[in-house]
Amino acid sequence: MIRPVTPTGVREIDALLDGGLPVGAISEITGPETSGRTAVALSFLRHLTHAGRVCAWVDVSDTLSPESAAVAGIDLTRLLWVRCGVSKDATKPSADYKFSLPEKYLIVASKKKRLHGGGCGGHPRNEVKGLPNAVSGLLRPVAIAPRCAEPQRRVRAERETFVPQAQPSLPRAGVRSNSSKPWARIEQALRATDLLLQAGGFSAIVLDMASIAPEHASRVLLATWFRYRAAAERTQASFLLLTQHPCAKSSGDLLLKFQPGEARRDESTVFTGIEHRLEIERQRFTQAPTNVIPLRKSPQHANTAEWQSQTTWAGAR
């Protein structure tokens, strides 16, 4: 099976992948922080949005910067940003938000007409009714403390009993447990991704789980990735999964492992960019250049690529 590909915008990666990322398949991009995985995903979406296509970014940890996406060249009007774990009040702009009390607290209470002229206190007769009880409490004899020689009655304290609670039910989106905080965001992201894949109309969907610890991301059921793979193939959408550790297993058609980035040595005191390096861990559908077997041994295909990113203040050299 030969799948069409979409270029990423990075020449070294496109040359390594024979054109770009596959369409209708899961491409898994793994690596630590500052390894270049997010930059490659933004470059990939820039190419699609400039072509007039609609894309989606499912942000599990709410770490995407719209300013950085706009600087990368993405058309934000064609990008759906799904923020997980964010309350409704946090999504409102701070300038438009105004604190207001309910109307019932803003209405001045009407004065009650009483015996002593317009006060809000109770009637004197009602206050007198509680006076005997108050006086009797003051006149009670003080309890005399027992002497040491007298036997004391020992009151046995009730033993605390532990009642085990019922185990939480498994979520429907494919997560095995939701006892800790990351599971709520992961469950919301998986459900949103499922809806986007089943609905169709998106050329690329990025599931950003790069800020989730590997022990949480790897516990997503494999049936979830298999369902996403079938839906992406049916709708012909490029599905990008950003993680720190591979978790899609056999459902992923392409696995790119990014190495930690290294600072460039152009200047001794000024940071000018990062040197990136990636390696192909898995590539299922590769297109052979020809079906004719040559007499000589063909050269081995390279599975690594290196490129450099440059800061905005470095300028042209």
pLDDT tens figures, 287-302: 555 566 666 655 556 7
- Range with the poorest average pLDDT among 29-33, 57-61, 122-126: 122-126
Q: Any idea which fold 5-86+169-288+300-310 has?
A: Rossmann fold (3.40.50)
Strand stretches in the chain, DSSP E: 5-6, 21-22, 26-30, 55-59, 79-83, 204-208, 238-243, 254-258, 262-263, 273-283, 304-310
Q: Mean pLDDT throughout 18-45?
A: 93
Q: State if pTM tops 0.75.
A: no
DSSP 140-194: SPPPPPPPTTSPPPPPPPPPP---PPPPPPPPTTSBS--SSHHHHHHHHHHHHHH
Average pLDDT, the chain: 78
